[in-house]
Structure 1
């Protein structure tokens, strides 16, 4: 796997303005970084192959105190942010904060349009159904979040709670009408957008950790047995995959490939394979890997990598090109973060959060053919 340093590496709009005039003068084999005091550092990458970047940055827009979690279209993101139209939270521990509501963020006009609000609650982690008709999101204040489903046409919804599942521990879309996850009652559950909710057939017991469905396969493991399994929902049979300590499972949009975050002693690896775990390819390795997401056309994968435990360099955002086997560093010195792609692949959002703050950045990407100078959009 080849790595290319970006010709323009930046973490904020201010840094982009600082470097904009000289970005074209950055030499191949270098990464430009800026510390909090404003000192710019150029890092040599003598051990890495030098070549024309497959991915380069056009610009980065930063949104303070906003969490981007999904995209409706290329100019409309789904976000969570403080709603100052509501009263502050009633709980004493949260009394200095406003509730967080869900909004459409219109990128071209920099305007917010309210989707859903609730008094004394933080709404977040919103994810659109594949057909963009429903929204899956969380409701929280203190304690574990509650998952809820909203019909974006009728604006009616329901929570994934109560008998017979005891509540949803996790939730993700299986298709346009179906949500799956691990339940507090044990095993996995299945919910539909019409409000039906019940245990998943053939997987209705056990303390599950990962639950992710793609097509007719449900990938899962348990707290005590971290090896990854694949349940065929048609036959009811489970097959062990060659990942004995899986911490994350990310099926490709077409369901034909997998990205698996695998623990290996004190390290984590991000592994690309087919749905059976065959022909595995390690694309990243370090102390921790998070924020994994596929581009909609599945030509790219984004992830957050911390190379060494306790490293002062922090975490970095990378984009991996599946066709060229190239990896491009997008941003450095991140806190905890997750990522999401716009439908065209031209924008990549990453959200950072710390103990008391959070922010989002939208990275505008240009694509170039290997060894070519003309940028192209896939």
Structure 2
């Protein structure tokens, strides 16, 4: 495992802030075409990130931690053969809980369905998820105590969006590109009354951030109708848990993306990464760290990285995973990180235990 401190990024306009007074016994500078990376062989124990263990679970796709030792996952249910994918032998994919201690799974809602994109409500009482049926995607909400499930009425959903607004309402983007919300009874209504097509949306403090056509980022304050434009060329936005910072992935050109930490107005504090692909970005529960999957075809760098949210110091985790299929997910303590990937048509989940 290598711990990096990004000192100089491409072009002098992007400056990386670094922490002061950090102890190290050896410093090696590596010159690369776009940036200079300083590798620290030893760092002060304060804030140091190390991988203690990695568990590889075959056949399970993880979405989120239900608690410190239980994850929400999906897995094949061979009780049901799916008929939505032609003659190929494909089985239902059902949501389940996975216990890290005894490695057991419990299927939450056995059904001949492809269930995916699970999102827990903030209090952990409800689970929003999607079901793929042919080319259509439907939304469902499950009461995790009773396992009763309701279908969100009268809307088709965009496959990759969805976020809880509070403990009883979830927002999502419809196939028509409209932002809507639904309550736990499955009753849906428009959330944003605009003609613009929306590509992604997340909850912020006092309003909603959304990405519109041409990848323009807007913020719509509560009780207002006119959004405020924040920034151009934004691929994804991930607010910190306290809502005071934003992690922005921007598309610079056809083969270049950047990951930056900004304030709420999109003013850049520092740039963390410049690469071909950046995805899976996720804040730790306390907002101190930012995990992401990074692939640079130009330089050959790839893998999972964790950045300090205040200094920009970056640690490359020594985990054999190139492409994360979903957003990386932290446990409540911040001591575990989970990532799923597809390799040779097989899904794998990696539980990374951190020191």
Normalised by the length of structure 2, the TM-score is: 0.83
- Aligned equivalents of 2:93, 2:26: Cα separation in 1: 43
Q: Tell me the equivalent position of 2:71.
A: 77
Alpha-carbon distance, 1:94 to partner: 5.8
Kept after mapping to 1: 8 A contact 2:257/2:278: yes
Kept after mapping to 2: 8 A contact 1:301/1:321: yes
4+ runs deviating over 6 angstroms: 27-30
Q: Tell me the equivalent position of 2:304.
A: 317
- Aligned equivalents of 2:240, 2:164: Cα separation in 1: 13
Alpha-carbon distance, 1:196 to partner: 2.5
Kept after mapping to 1: 8 A contact 2:140/2:150: yes
- Aligned equivalents of 2:38, 2:352: Cα separation in 1: 27
**Aligned-CA RMSD value:** 2.4
Q: Tell me the equivalent position of 1:221.
A: 211
* Structure 2 residue 298 is the aligned partner of structure 1 residue 299: no
- Aligned equivalents of 1:117, 1:353: Cα separation in 2: 23
Equivalent residues in 2 for 1:131-150, closer than 5 Å: 131-150=123-142
Q: Which of 169, 172, 196 is 1:178 aligned to?
A: 169
Alpha-carbon distance, 1:321 to partner: 1.5
Alpha-carbon distance, 1:316 to partner: 0.8
Equivalent residues in 2 for 1:353-368, closer than 5 Å: 353-354=342-343, 356-366=345-355
Post-superposition Cα deviations, 1:274-300, rounded to whole Å, max 9, x if no partner, equal: 222134321111011001111111111
- Aligned equivalents of 2:196, 2:249: Cα separation in 1: 22
Compared CA separation, residues 359 and 219, structure 1 to 2 (3 A): same
Q: Tell me the equivalent position of 1:87.
A: 80
Q: Tell me the equivalent position of 1:58.
A: 52
Q: May I ask how many residue pairs the two structures share in their alignment?
A: 319
- Aligned equivalents of 2:150, 2:54: Cα separation in 1: 36
Q: Tell me the equivalent position of 2:196.
A: 206
Q: Tell me the equivalent position of 1:274.
A: 263
Q: Tell me the equivalent position of 1:375.
A: none
* Unmatched tracts of structure 1, length 5 or more: 6-26, 31-44, 367-378
Normalised by the length of structure 1, the TM-score is: 0.78
Alpha-carbon distance, 1:78 to partner: 0.6
- Aligned equivalents of 2:301, 2:91: Cα separation in 1: 30
Compared CA separation, residues 156 and 46, structure 1 to 2 (3 A): closer
- Matched position secondary structure for 1:280: strand
Alpha-carbon distance, 1:97 to partner: 2.2
* Structure 2 residue 340 is the aligned partner of structure 1 residue 351: yes
Q: Tell me the equivalent position of 1:247.
A: 235
- Aligned equivalents of 2:323, 2:301: Cα separation in 1: 7
Compared CA separation, residues 214 and 193, structure 1 to 2 (3 A): farther
* Unmatched tracts of structure 2, length 5 or more: 5-24, 29-35
Q: Tell me the equivalent position of 2:188.
A: 197
Q: Tell me the equivalent position of 1:283.
A: 272
Kept after mapping to 2: 8 A contact 1:186/1:204: no
- Aligned equivalents of 1:238, 1:109: Cα separation in 2: 49
